């Protein structure tokens, strides 16, 4: 009797389970309607350069060529809307740049013929009207960010090389003796950088937002791939450089950080190197930071912090200091 009751209950339970408990498998991936993506990064104190407008490519397990996913024929403009330093509204009609030149080589890349300069401390707004959207209609994509101020960078313990920042060599792959040479036995380099803006420097004494979102610091080997040589040949036994090995690396510092140590140990290759310190706007920093923080997070993967409304991507500004140096092996 018990066996029969138990079996009945078991069958009933399993049946109910199977009927009501079908696994919820999202069909999001199959039915995904790819969003438009806007990536626009402009250098402070320089003319507006190139930007890219595309759609997310969803069929990536076969083949992906970025050129196949560009969105052409869009209406794109950037306008300055506010001077954060002086707390003054700007007229967007006056400070407007149209990106009306489309690349024929890379569909989806747009540039401008305007010689307008990106102004530090200014808040800019970008508006994109996709093909089919009229000029009087609301923008399909838009974003705002504030361009950071320029900054200076110096080494506390290698002050003799401070003059070499932003000195462009004739040949980045063959640095002359005027460029410093380091090795792994030498002291690490301590770098400090000035704030993009400090309250004392505010001419109006007005509290304003520091437009610098953070700083990226990177070192990249300058030699061609086939000429790369390990600094430590025992570090990785294979004489060959693996395909997936980076020629350099970069790290990111939040806006409250004003110094860092550069460890020679983490430079992998012999020869000429390029070191970049890049102050980026807040939107740019958050986008890069969330990309980094996701690496190895292993948990429930969140999306990146995009600042483009109506789609994905990032609209940001940067300003950089660059220095070249050589690395030598110590046997």
Tell me: does residue 245 bind another protein (CB under 8 A).
yes
Do the Cβ atoms of 143 and 38 come closer than 8 Å?
Answer: yes
Cα–Cα distance for residue pair 241/244, rounded to 1 Å: 8
Where b means 16+ CB within 10 Å and e means fewer, 311-325 reads bbbbbbbbbbbebbb
Question: With the CA atoms of 232, 237, 239 and 242 taken in that order, what torsion angle do they form, in degrees rounded to the nearest 10?
Answer: -100
Cα–Cα distance for residue pair 129/98, rounded to 1 Å: 12
> Which of residues 71, 85, 189, 216 is near another protein by CB under 8 A?
216
Shortest spacing between CB 187 and another protein, in angstroms: 8
Encoded one letter per residue, x for contact with another protein by CB under 8 A and - for no contact, window 89-128 reads: ----------------------------------------
> Which of residues 54, 210, 307, 326 is near another protein by CB under 8 A?
54
> Which of residues 138, 198, 265, 328 is near another protein by CB under 8 A?
265
Encoded one letter per residue, x for contact with another protein by CB under 8 A and - for no contact, window 287-306 reads: -xxxx-xx-xxxxxxxxxx-
> Which of residues 163, 243, 272, 327 is near another protein by CB under 8 A?
243
Cα–Cα distance for residue pair 268/205, rounded to 1 Å: 47
Task: Pick between residue 10 and residue 206 the one whose CB is nearest to another protein.
Answer: 10
- Cα–Cα nearest to 179, from 192, 165, 193: 165
Shortest spacing between CB 294 and another protein, in angstroms: 7
Task: Pick between residue 11 and residue 206 the one whose CB is nearest to another protein.
Answer: 11
Task: Pick between residue 66 and residue 201 the one whose CB is nearest to another protein.
Answer: 66
Between residue 55 and residue 74, which ones bind another protein under the rule CB under 8 A?
55-58, 60-67, 69
Shortest spacing between CB 8 and another protein, in angstroms: 11
> Which of residues 130, 212, 316, 326 is near another protein by CB under 8 A?
316
Cα–Cα distance for residue pair 138/142, rounded to 1 Å: 9
Shortest spacing between CB 170 and another protein, in angstroms: 19
Tell me: does residue 206 bind another protein (CB under 8 A).
no
Tell me: does residue 231 bind another protein (CB under 8 A).
yes
Region label for 121, one of left (φ > 0), alpha (ψ between -120 and 50) or beta (otherwise): left
- Residues sharing a CB contact under 8 Å with residue 40, sequence separation 6 or more, in sequence order: 51, 52, 78, 126, 313, 314, 315, 316
Tell me: does residue 313 bind another protein (CB under 8 A).
yes
Counting beta carbons within 10 angstroms of the beta carbon of residue 154, is it exposed (0 to 12), middle (13 to 18) or buried (19 or more)?
A: middle
Tell me: does residue 229 bind another protein (CB under 8 A).
no
Shortest spacing between CB 225 and another protein, in angstroms: 6
First-to-last C-alpha distance (Å) of the chain: 84
Encoded one letter per residue, x for contact with another protein by CB under 8 A and - for no contact, window 267-286 reads: ---------x-x-x---x-x
Tell me: does residue 9 bind another protein (CB under 8 A).
yes
Tell me: does residue 173 bind another protein (CB under 8 A).
no
Q: 3-class SS at 37? A: strand
Please give the structure tokens belonging to residue 70: 């560009």
Cα–Cα distance for residue pair 83/187, rounded to 1 Å: 42
Stretch that binds another protein, among 30-38, 173-181, 194-202, 204-212 (CB under 8 A): 30-38
Do the Cβ atoms of 196 and 279 come closer than 8 Å?
Answer: yes
């Amino acid at each position: 009797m018990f066996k029969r009751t138990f079996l009945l209950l078991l069958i009933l339970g399993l049946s109910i389970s199977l009927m009501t408990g079908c696994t919820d498998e999202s069909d999001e991936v199959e039915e995904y309607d790819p969003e438009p993506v806007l990536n626009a990064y402009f250098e402070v104190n320089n003319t507006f350069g190139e930007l890219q407008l595309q759609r997310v490519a969803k069929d990536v397990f076969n083949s992906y060529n970025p050129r196949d996913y560009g969105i052409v024929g869009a209406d794109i403009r950037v306008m300055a809307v506010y001077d954060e330093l002086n707390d003054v509204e700007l007229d967007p009609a006056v400070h407007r740049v149209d990106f009306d030149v489309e690349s024929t080589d890379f569909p989806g890349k747009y540039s401008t013929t305007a010689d307008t300069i990106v102004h530090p401390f200014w808040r800019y707004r970008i508006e994109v009207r996709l093909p089919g959207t009229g000029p009087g209609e609301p923008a399909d994509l838009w974003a705002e960010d504030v361009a950071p101020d320029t900054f200076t960078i110096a080494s506390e313990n290698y002050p003799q090389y401070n003059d070499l920042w932003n000195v462009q060599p004739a040949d980045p792959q063959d640095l002359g003796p005027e460029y410093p040479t380091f090795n792994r036995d030498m002291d690490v380099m301590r770098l400090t950088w000035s704030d993009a803006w400090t309250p004392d420097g505010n001419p109006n004494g007005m509290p304003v937002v520091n437009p610098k979102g953070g700083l990226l610091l990177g070192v990249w080997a300058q030699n061609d791939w086939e000429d790369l040589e390990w600094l430590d040949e025992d570090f990785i036994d294979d004489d060959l450089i693996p395909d997936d090995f980076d020629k350099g690396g970069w790290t990111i510092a939040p806006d409250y950080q004003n110094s860092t140590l550069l460890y020679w140990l983490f430079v992998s290759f012999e020869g000429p190197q390029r070191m970049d310190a890049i102050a980026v706007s807040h939107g740019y920093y958050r986008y890069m930071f969330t990309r980094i923080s996701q690496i190895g997070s292993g948990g429930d993967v969140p999306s990146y912090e995009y600042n483009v409304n109506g789609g994905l991507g990032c609209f940001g500004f940067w300003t950089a200091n660059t220095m070249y140096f050589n690395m030598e092996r110590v046997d």
